[in-house]
Amino acid sequence: MAFRARIARAAAAANNTWDNPFRLGTRGYWTVQDAIFDKFMATHDQCIEELCQLVRSTGGPDLDGSVESLEPLNDWLKIPVLLGAKWDDGYDWWPTWCGVYDPEDRDPGEMNILQYYRLEGRVAFYYADVLISQLPGSKWICWRAEEFNVGRTGDFLVDIGTFPTPADPLSTARCCIVTLWRATNDPNSPNYSPPGKYTLMKELQRHSSYRLERLLKGRPLDFQAAPTGDEAGINRGPYKGSRIKARWLEWYDR
């Protein structure tokens, strides 16, 4: 399920009748999005601890937060991928940022969606920790684009100072897991990708290259003003200062 669709389900769970985030108006939208983001971030320590325990219990590598640990972790992902629907991480909690849990929400033969979203979140948090350690100033944010209702506005991303190109650890984790699954279970799929096309290490190198390229061109790093809140979107891209602030306040009043 696409990230925004999952967030819409999470918001629907919080608001009962809300099925479209933009119907709340801009201020209401960000109030809900930021609250879901806070719930997401509150699971960080739990996700990291559980991932380390799962990897250790299956004879996997030591996850010490280093760059060198990414490739062994990527290789370890073959274990839950090979087990597919038989994979059981031994935990029983539903990621609140994914909306209402529907036990029927799964694809035949694939990992149970409950297990999959937990694994995706754990790997995303771990990858983000490594990325943030390598790119100072980076942080998780509820992303504000230049305009409301465009791009990846409202997604949970890591701002690495390269606006408008943030890092997307959840998509990184998803691509690595899904690529391995297709290579293992469905090599004839039209969406098949070689298992080495998406790896955690390659994504780290890609995100790092964005920042290096920017600095080599003499362009200053451009971070979102804050992870969440009214001030988060007032300092975006080429619209720094009063112009973009006026536009955001205009949207907030709608």
Q: Which residues contact 15 (CB under 8 A, 6 or more apart)?
A: 24, 32
What span, in angstroms and rounded, lies between the C-alpha atoms of 239 and 91?
46
Cα(105)–Cα(127) distance, rounded to whole angstroms? 26
pLDDT at residue 250 in the model: 45
| pLDDT at residue 158 in the model | 96
- Does position 4 have pLDDT exceeding 60, yes or no? no
Write out pLDDT tens, residues 20-61.
444 555 667 788 889 899 999 999 999 999 999 999 999 899
149-173 pLDDT per residue, tens:
556 778 899 999 998 889 999 999 9
pLDDT at 103: 61
- Could you give the 3-state DSSP secondary structure of residue 167? strand
Q: Is the CB of residue 24 less than 8 Å from the CB of residue 18? A: yes
Please check the confidence at residue 192 and state whether its pLDDT lies above 90: no
Per the DSSP assignment, residues forming a β-bridge with 2 are none
Confidence of residue 242 (pLDDT cuts 50, 70, 90): very low
Count Cβ atoms within 10 A of the Cβ of residue 230 and give its class: 0-12 exposed, 13-18 middle, 19 or more buried.
Answer: middle
pLDDT at 234: 60
In angstroms, the CA 27 to CA 88 distance is 40
Which residue do the tokens 């990992």 mark? 111
Q: pLDDT tens across 198-210, in order?
A: 899 999 999 999 9
Distance of CA 21 to the CA centre of its chain: 18
